[in-house]
Structure 1
Amino acid sequence: MKKIIVSSLLATLVLFSCKNQEKKETIDQEPVADQVVTQKGATYAELSTAEGGEWKGRVYEGGTSFKNVEELWVPQQHTDHSWYLRYEGPGWESSKVGYRLYLDWRNAIDIFGKVTDQMILDQVGQDNFDSYHEEQPWGQDILKVGKALGIGSYGQLVKDSVYHFQKVDSTYAKVFNGDSSSGVAILYKGWEVADAKTDLQVRLEIAPDSRLTRATLQPSTALNGLVTGIVKFDDVSLIKSDGEGDWAYIATYGEQTLVPDELGMVIFYKKSEVNAIVDGFYDHLIHFKPTTEGVTYYFGAAWVKEKDGITNEADFKTYLEEELAKLNG
């Protein structure tokens, strides 16, 4: 029975990715497990699960190694710090930056700052611990997410609160590596907020030599509170642009890493898909209009230690305007 369900979901995810592909390009939907990519200019995505141990309550104990998988039904007992998923979820990267999604109730997106232009995700978290929070030869985890969405993740805004994925019937993820991009497709079944359930399909992908992840969300019902956002930090101001053109952005720049040092974060959004920019408790939020047709946006990070990267706010703002011009071009 589960094989039949998986086949159906795979068909849904592939259809979803094709339907929302704005550029005329072919993305290989067959992910490559255990592949290590080293060439400059490539992209890479992976998802790894622990093996050799067993579940004891909500914790996977005694794991001896990790194995890359192409797809995964997230175990019902899995939660934060279960030690089952290497670096807690899927990761995807370009030569400039890496990202990871907490594939549990938090559902935030974190940043791997890179000091190299090589692919590094296969090296991260192999020691069963979170050593990536400390400086490594390739860089480190740099974003302090806390109770926020991190950068570019998604939730539901109900009154003044953003609900993550505290209640969901099941979650399915599939990674892909193609010539033009790498990333992850996710299906959340029965996401419950305020006594209402919806299914949410998500696609997150990154192109070679880009800092930007392209995110596409498609809910099964027209949610009134679908949001994305950027984590807020004290003494770091919000930068906004909503001038001419179809696209706009919100961004931040300043000392907002675990190091601590300077980091720029941005979300580009289509003005026609957005109700308002909202000041949340933990995030600068983009509140989308209700729809079942799907919404698309881009998020990205520029770390001061990135190889040949952006090292000051003025250059970051120049980068934002250049990317905005491309989207509006």
Structure 2
Amino acid sequence: MKRLTILMLALCFVGSLRAENRRDVYRVTVDGRRAQCPVVIRDVPDWAVSAVVRSGGREIPSQFDAPLRELAFVADVDGTRKFRVEWSSEPARREYPACVHAQMWLKNEDKSLRAADTVASDRDNMYHRLHHHGPAFESEYAAYRIYFDKKQTIDTYGKKSPRLELAETMWYPSDEQLAAGYGHDNLRVFGSVGVGTLKGWDAAKNRMIHITEFDRREARIIARGPVRTVVEMAVEGWRYGGRRIGMVSRYILYAGHSDVQVENSITGDCDGLLFTTGVMKMAGNSFLRMGNAMAAVGCDFPENDTLKWERERVALAVAVPAGQVRADAEDKTSYLWLLAPDEHGHIDYVFDMWWRKSRWLEGVSDEAMLTGVLDAVRRAASPVRVERLR
């Protein structure tokens, strides 16, 4: 009888815990004008582990990234739009369709692959140990990879049709996949800036500086979707400019977007140091710099076979914070800006890639590509106002 009483009390206690699921509702307004506008809410209750977002009674796919304590979703905003965020202390019960994807694969000794969220090394030896040489991420409209080597350059993969492909092509499509209209790598970045890579700058030699001396480097996938991917490249003890600094570069790609939000956080003594980013120079390219944005359209293809891999023009663009620009620059590979970190050690910006093989860009002129991608990054770099209603 005594054991039965204890068991009943225990069951009542568990039931009371379940009944105490915490819930709260935030009402949020977003002010701005942007289709497929990324919205990030950082005012997250400490106890919350999931959320549901609604607007006008309709549920909107969202993503709660616990490591970052951020809730993200994408919605059209034309003026002011109101959202209802319902927080819960229970795990999410909903699954939304995946509109983005991220992957990183370590090579085993038998040449098989195993998925990894985090890889690190204290030497520059990861390039050949990883399939497609680093982490890769995609939306329906574009894919990117980050080389895990001293260059840390961003490479691009174009989409012919809007869809996710990397889980199938693993960055390198087969003949059958190419014949079926899959996209592929569309640039040969070499030692350039690619698009939107943050590097050091050697003023005396007028060239970029790679990450050659360091204590430790790490690549990590923080979030895989369904609304956004978040990928980070971190370096500790980077010897640059006579200093020893740290840097974390975070790349965020949203559903419905080809543009990538970049958040660089630099720690240590970075006072007076300059960094550089921009777009690579391509064969026969046109270039345009306007205010805090630059773009180039050209062709520098990664394959020599021009029959199987027919050439087409690529547009690259970057928009940076105007107040952090110290000078325009260029070297033999890239068009660049020289940038200073802000008072918090941050250098944040946006980059984008368009490809004329994409179904939605067929027949578009170089001039239209150039001005279009330039306008796109400038819009993406313009913040919208997110406000919680008290």
| TM-score, length-scaled by structure 2 | 0.65
Q: 1:297-316 residue pairs with structure 2 within 5 A?
A: 297-309=349-361, 311-316=364-369
1:151 to 178, 195, 206: 195
> 2: distance between equivalents of 1:213 and 1:133?
29
Query: Structure 2 counterpart of 1:298, which letter?
Result: V
- Which is greater in Rg? 2
- Corresponding position: 1:46 with 2:103: yes
1:294 to 338, 343, 346: 346
Q: 1:84-123 residue pairs with structure 2 within 5 A?
A: 84-123=129-168
CA contact (8 A) 1:27 1:180 kept: no
- Corresponding position: 1:227 with 2:284: no
* Corresponding residue SS for 2:190: coil
1:140 to 184, 188, 202: 184
Per the alignment, residue 324 of structure 1 pairs with 378
Q: CA deviation at 1:313?
A: 2.4
> 1: distance between equivalents of 2:260 and 2:379?
17
CA contact (8 A) 1:144 1:257 kept: yes
Q: CA deviation at 1:174?
A: 1.6
Per the alignment, residue 289 of structure 2 pairs with 240
How many residues are treated as equivalent by the alignment? 282
* Corresponding residue SS for 1:302: strand
Q: CA deviation at 1:269?
A: 1.2
1:211 to 258, 264, 282: 258
* Corresponding residue SS for 1:216: strand
What percentage of aligned pairs have identical amino acids?
17
CA contact (8 A) 1:157 1:225 kept: yes
Per the alignment, residue 331 of structure 2 pairs with 280
Q: Root-mean-square deviation (CA), in Å? A: 2.9
Of 155-164 and 187-196, more deviation after overlay is shown by 187-196
* Corresponding residue SS for 1:73: strand
- Corresponding position: 1:192 with 2:239: yes
Of 194-203 and 314-323, more deviation after overlay is shown by 314-323
Q: CA deviation at 1:100?
A: 0.2
> 2: distance between equivalents of 1:199 and 1:118?
36
Of 268-277 and 97-106, more deviation after overlay is shown by 268-277
CA contact (8 A) 1:28 1:178 kept: no
Per the alignment, residue 23 of structure 2 pairs with none
Q: CA deviation at 1:154?
A: 1.3
* Corresponding residue SS for 1:318: helix
Of Structure 1 and Structure 2, which has the larger fraction of its residues in strand?
2
* Corresponding residue SS for 1:143: coil
| TM-score, length-scaled by structure 1 | 0.76
* Corresponding residue SS for 2:378: helix
CA contact (8 A) 2:106 2:113 kept: yes
> 1: distance between equivalents of 2:66 and 2:339?
28
Unmatched 5+ residue regions in structure 1?
1-20, 32-38, 54-61, 243-247
